[in-house]
Amino acid sequence: MSAQYKGSKPGLKTIGSREFEEKTTASFSHSATTDPERCLPSQTPFSAHQATVEDEEKAIRVPSYAGGNQLALTATRSTQEGFGSEYPEGGLQAWLVVFASFCGLLAALGIMNTIGVYQSYIADNQLAGYSESTVGWISSIYVFLSFGGGLIIGPVFDKYGPRLLVLLGSVCIMLCMMLLGVCTQYWHFILVFGILGGTGTSLIFTPAIASIGHFFLVKRGNATGLAATGGAVGGVIFPLMLQSLFPRVGWGWATRAQGFLFLGLLIPMNVFTRSRLPPKEKASVLPDFRIFRNVDFALVTVGTYFMEWGLFAPITYITSYSLASGAMSPEFAYQIIAIFNAGSAVGRWIPGLLADKIGRFNAILAALLLCTASSLALWLPATVLSASENPATHNNAVFGLTVTFCVLFGFGSGSNISLTPVAVGMLCDTEEYGRYYSTCYCIVSLGTLTGIPIAGALISACDGAYWGVALFTGLCYIIALAAFTAVRTTKVGWKVTAKY
Distance CA 322, CA 314 (A): 11
80: left (phi over 0), alpha (psi -120 to 50) or beta: beta
Same domain, 132 and 44: no
Same domain, 197 and 283: yes
Same domain, 206 and 121: yes
Burial 288-300 (b: 16+ CB within 10 A, else e): eeebeeeeebbbb
Pairs from 49-54 (Cβ < 8 Å, separation ≥ 24): 49/4, 49/5, 49/73, 50/2, 50/3, 50/4, 50/5, 50/23, 51/2, 51/3, 51/13, 51/15, 51/23, 52/1, 52/2, 52/3, 53/1, 53/2, 53/3
CA atoms within 13 A on the CB side of 47: 7
pLDDT at 100: 93
Examine residue 127 and state whether it is found in any structural domain, yes or no: yes
Same domain, 47 and 158: no
Same domain, 205 and 221: yes
- Of 46, 65, 87, the one marking the end of a domain is 87
Question: In 10 A of CB 39, how many CB atoms?
Answer: 21
Q: What is the pLDDT of residues 33-77, one digit of tens each?
A: 334 333 333 333 333 333 433 343 333 333 333 333 333 333 334
Examine residue 482 and state whether it is found in any structural domain, yes or no: yes
Q: How far is CA 475 from the centre of its chain?
A: 21
Examine residue 498 and state whether it is found in any structural domain, yes or no: no
- Of 61, 87, 113, the one marking the end of a domain is 87
Examine residue 497 and state whether it is found in any structural domain, yes or no: no
Examine residue 500 and state whether it is found in any structural domain, yes or no: no
Is residue 169 helix, strand or coil? helix
Distance CA 262, CA 478 (A): 36
- Would the pTM count as exceeding 0.75? no
pLDDT at 466: 93
The values of phi and psi at residue 60, to 5°, are -100, 115
Structural domain boundaries, residue 410: 92-492
Same domain, 79 and 100: no
Number of domains in the chain: 2
Of 219, 214, 338, 231, the residue nearest 279 (C-alpha): 214
pLDDT at 381: 95
Task: Tell me how far CA of residue 153 lies from CA of 63, 110, 185, 193, 267, in angstroms.
Answer: 30, 20, 30, 19, 20
Of 408, 312, 318, 427, the residue nearest 366 (C-alpha): 408
pLDDT at 480: 95
pLDDT at 464: 87
Examine residue 290 and state whether it is found in any structural domain, yes or no: yes
Distance CA 334, CA 341 (A): 12
Same domain, 317 and 367: yes
Same domain, 375 and 452: yes
Rg (CA), the chain: 24
State the SS3 of 307-336. HHHHHHHHHHHHHHHHHHHCCCCHHHHHHH
| Backbone CA torsion sign across 459, 399, 310, 150 | positive
Examine residue 220 and state whether it is found in any structural domain, yes or no: yes
Of 209, 206, 224, the residue nearest 150 (C-alpha): 206
Q: What is the pLDDT of residues 472-488, one digit of tens each?
A: 999 999 999 999 999 99
Distance CA 243, CA 120 (A): 11
- What does DSSP assign to residue 8? S
Same domain, 104 and 83: no
Contact present, 12 and 218 (Cβ < 8 Å): yes
Examine residue 81 and state whether it is found in any structural domain, yes or no: yes
Same domain, 138 and 56: no
Which parts of the chain register pLDDT below 70? 1-85, 87-88, 277, 279-288, 430
Structural element, H or E, at residue 13: strand 12-14
Same domain, 77 and 147: no
- Of 87, 106, 125, the one marking the end of a domain is 87
pLDDT at 156: 82
pLDDT at 499: 82
Same domain, 413 and 296: yes
pLDDT at 357: 81
CA atoms within 13 A on the CB side of 238: 30
Q: What is the DSSP string of 339-361?
A: HHHHHHHHHHHHHHHHHHHH-HH
The values of phi and psi at residue 243, to 5°, are -60, -35
> Which residue intervals of 87-162 are DSSP H helices?
92-112, 115-124, 132-148, 150-160
Distance CA 410, CA 338 (A): 10
- The CATH number linked to 395 is 1.20.1250.20
The values of phi and psi at residue 83, to 5°, are 60, 10
